[in-house]
Structure 1
Amino acid sequence: MASAEDLVTLTANCLCKANLFTTQVPKSKFPLEGWACHCDSCRHVTGALYTLDTPWPEPRANVDVSGLKTYNFSPKYDILFCPTCSTPMFFAHTAELEHKLGVFTGTLKNDPTDLVKITNHIFVGDTKDGGASMWLRKPNTDGNEAQRYKARDKDERGAPAEPIPYDWPPSHSMTGFEAKTNSPIPIKCKCKGVNLVWQPGTYDGKKVSELPWFVDPSTHKALAGFCACESCRLTGGCDVWNWGFAELKDISYATTQSSFPSSSTDLKALVDAKDPSLGTLAYYASSPDVQRFFCNHCSATIFYASDDRTFMVDIALGVLEAQDGARAEGVFSWAYGAAISHIKENEGGWRYELFQRVTKEGEEWRISRGYPKNWRILARERAATKS
């Protein structure tokens, strides 16, 4: 039996802290093996561009999950999530109650211990463009490549599948950084209780000073970027969170002619009034002036809204169905290589170095594809030079 000095307390909790789970794990077991899934279902059930889980080191029978809500994700798995704040906590096997739960790694405390090692990326083919796997090809401290697979890592007979090349997908199969598309993009959670459409804004003829702050002056694409804050991470149970920005006036209902709220204040009021047109949309106020909108049936994160900019929302990129791929580069100008927002919150913990590797890989990805630097990065560089 391991001594107290050889044990690490593994802690997982949801955003509102109503659900907290702890267990003791021998230091020799770290890093825990994690499997990243990029399938359409995982993206739409969380709002993240991928999910990552690792076995919870206790039998399900020993874990009190009575405070969590259950969503039947597939014939084999349920997702157990917080009904208040929507944090997905566990994947649970539907047929074996004694089976170990799979904990979403984004819910784990940011301890100094090197907690998780990503071994495989599965269903990367669903993303069309590689999705988040492009900055998670070498995510671990050992520097080795995490193998990526178009579907499962094993075939129907259990034999190892063929991994996809390091530089997949090829450049010619992608939209490109400059070209902007204007096709409407569905916003859907996994259960389709939230069913909306975003028509990317057109800003032709507008002066630079008339553009929203998140719109590229040259391409008129909206900004997409990375966040490392605890609240975003816990919202969707994903370590590396990605948002895209949009004006609420460009969002509409998919199945009705009613006008969608043009301000987050009105959107919040409609949710409070339980307006049926919103379907399963709910929100959690993570601070007095912030609302995090989610599906209260399947847990998917949908929007982030703030009272200091009520005309817009951040869209969780995993719930978009863009024709060109999960990253929707046809409508978003990605801040590849930029310092991840709120990265300093993670100093002293295992995620800090993970985020640094993500930043490095994002920049390598940008350069390998010949993409120019995002306009906001260039503006910051110019300001730093002048100062």
Structure 2
Amino acid sequence: MNHLTASCHCKQFSYQINIPEDVSFPVSETTCSCDACRYRTGQICILTLSAKLTRSIPSPEDLKKLSRYDQKCGFAIEQDTLPDGEEDNNDSQGGLNKYSSNTTCGGTIITSFFCGKCGTKVYLQVASLTDEVEIGMWMLGCLDRLFLEVDGKKIPIVDVQGHHFLDDTVDGGISNIWRTSNGKQLKKYHDGLVEWEPHQDIPQKIRPDEMLNLHCKCKAFDVYVRRPKPSLPLPEGCYWYQHPLDDKGIPQRYMASWCSCDSCRLTTGSSLPAHPWVQIPFIDIFASSSPNPTPYINGTMTSSTQLPGLTLYYSTPSNHGISRYHCSTCGASVLYFDEKRDFIGTFAVGLNDSLLGIMNTNWFSWWTGDDKVTMPMINRRIDGVKRWGEETMDEFEDGLKEWGISIGQRT
């Protein structure tokens, strides 16, 4: 019997997943970019290992060790059962059976289970209103490894087939970047097996008076960001305010970038080769969008500042100058803070709520590398390689580079 371990960053929760011998790997999976997943995690999409296929669903007693967030959704999810014997686990649609039936029935409860202390998103459960569990899904980011040794061979536990619910992204989200997996083209879908078509008329014009809403699913964290208004001249090495410039030479976008470090992966439960963050100075963040809004942070931010509705966690025990915050109610990852730069916060990109799309190139200037600069495209790429393998990280970086060129943020 094969075993995997699911655990959170602080190790308050640890669970051994026992997988029967007749379960064949890799299991076909797709990313999910729906709004519900995004706002209750802070991620731009999620990728899971289906417990129904592994038949390793934790008991209610085990799940009591985690915090939970219940959400009623307007769609039903069906998933085929594991084929018998040596049957191929992929269906005729390339394994895209996870969301094979979606209807506006309003009869589905999605429950997120996360560690109340460190915020790791661990497990996702779909149930009917009768509380009968229909599907269980382990967040890939909380698993101890993504490969198993089978008959002396290293086998991945999941085979990524494509991306789902892309219409919620507006701009295509992760499908812009993660285009291939093990050399095969990843499919793009929205609802059921309807192929996603890119939106044609996403506004690109920058409105100086516009404000950007950042919020989690339950809106315990709910703030508004103004366009950058830094004092000029900008300090040397200032990268958080980005081009383009207005007619006065003031930048109008914020720097967004990727990290694949184990700490980000575990504290978020992130299932991607790299997790995206955006850096925003606190001076540009407000508690409302009113004409004279109250600043979100009053006074100087410190690593011990308590923020309403959020749980503080020290992810680096040896350095209390670094702290992370997640929503105490829905569990969404919100903020990474380093006291050495007390004027700025690093926020989960998935929290941004914009009609311009998840990647929101109207507000964010994405770091997609520069051949003349030593700063890597992905921070702590080495951690991503150890987890995903060199080939997957190369494919992800190649997609990131191509996307950067296509949006004019890389030459």
**Equivalent residue number for residue 45 of structure 1:** 40
- Pick the aligned partner of 1:115 from 157, 174, 178: 157
Displacement, 1:35?
Answer: 2.5
**In 1, Cα distance between equivalents of 2:42 and 2:144:** 21
Displacement, 1:32?
Answer: 2.3
**Equivalent residue number for residue 3 of structure 1:** none
Displacement, 1:350?
Answer: 2.6
1:138-217 aligned at under 5 Å gives the runs 138=180, 140-141=181-182, 143-150=183-190, 152-153=191-192, 161-164=193-196, 168-169=198-199, 173=202, 175=204, 183-203=210-230, 206-209=232-235, 212-216=238-242
Q: Give ranges in structure 1 of 5+ residues lacking alignment.
A: 1-6, 154-160, 272-277, 375-387
Displacement, 1:371?
Answer: 1.3
1:228-377 aligned at under 5 Å gives the runs 228-238=260-270, 239=272, 240-254=274-288, 258-261=294-297, 265-266=301-302, 268-271=304-307, 278=308, 280-287=309-316, 288-337=320-369, 338-367=376-405, 369=406, 371-373=408-410
Helix, strand or coil at the partner of 2:301: helix
**Equivalent residue number for residue 31 of structure 1:** 26
**Equivalent residue number for residue 378 of structure 1:** none
Structure 1 residues 6-49: Cα deviation after superposition (integer angstroms, max 9, x where no partner): x5422221111111122243497222222211111211110011
Displacement, 1:250?
Answer: 1.0
Displacement, 1:61?
Answer: 5.4
Work out whether 1:101 is the aligned partner of 2:136.
Answer: yes
- Pick the aligned partner of 1:19 from 13, 26, 35: 13
Structure 1 residues 181-232: Cα deviation after superposition (integer angstroms, max 9, x where no partner): 65211111101111111113124x8234367332236542221111101111
Task: Summarize the Cα distance change of 1:344–1:264 in structure 2 as closer, same or farther, 3 Å threshold.
Answer: farther
Structure 1 residues 51-97: Cα deviation after superposition (integer angstroms, max 9, x where no partner): 11121223435572220111112332211111111111111123355
CA RMSD of aligned residues (A): 2.7
TM-score by length of 2: 0.76
**Equivalent residue number for residue 275 of structure 1:** none
Partner AA of 2:345 in structure 1 = V
**Equivalent residue number for residue 385 of structure 1:** none
More helix by share: 1
Q: Is the 8 A contact 1:111 1:348 kept in 2?
A: no
Displacement, 1:251?
Answer: 0.9
**In 1, Cα distance between equivalents of 2:334 and 2:386:** 30
Work out whether 1:129 is the aligned partner of 2:168.
Answer: no
**In 1, Cα distance between equivalents of 2:286 and 2:342:** 16
Helix, strand or coil at the partner of 2:55: strand
Task: Summarize the Cα distance change of 1:181–1:116 in structure 2 as closer, same or farther, 3 Å threshold.
Answer: farther
**Equivalent residue number for residue 58 of structure 1:** 55
Partner AA of 2:283 in structure 1 = K
Task: Summarize the Cα distance change of 1:97–1:58 in structure 2 as closer, same or farther, 3 Å threshold.
Answer: farther
Partner AA of 1:130 in structure 2 = G
Partner AA of 1:373 in structure 2 = R
Helix, strand or coil at the partner of 1:282: strand
TM-score by length of 1: 0.80
* Count of matched residue pairs: 344
**In 2, Cα distance between equivalents of 1:293 and 1:345:** 22
Q: Is the 8 A contact 2:288 2:294 kept in 1?
A: no
Q: Is the 8 A contact 2:44 2:349 kept in 1?
A: yes
- Pick the aligned partner of 2:255 from 220, 223, 226: 223
**In 1, Cα distance between equivalents of 2:268 and 2:146:** 19
Partner AA of 1:84 in structure 2 = K
**In 2, Cα distance between equivalents of 1:258 and 1:215:** 22
Task: Summarize the Cα distance change of 1:255–1:94 in structure 2 as closer, same or farther, 3 Å threshold.
Answer: farther
Q: Give ranges in structure 2 of 5+ residues lacking alignment.
A: 73-107, 148-154, 246-250, 370-375
Helix, strand or coil at the partner of 2:342: coil
Q: Is the 8 A contact 2:366 2:404 kept in 1?
A: no
Helix, strand or coil at the partner of 1:361: helix
Displacement, 1:335?
Answer: 1.4
Helix, strand or coil at the partner of 1:51: coil
**Equivalent residue number for residue 381 of structure 1:** none
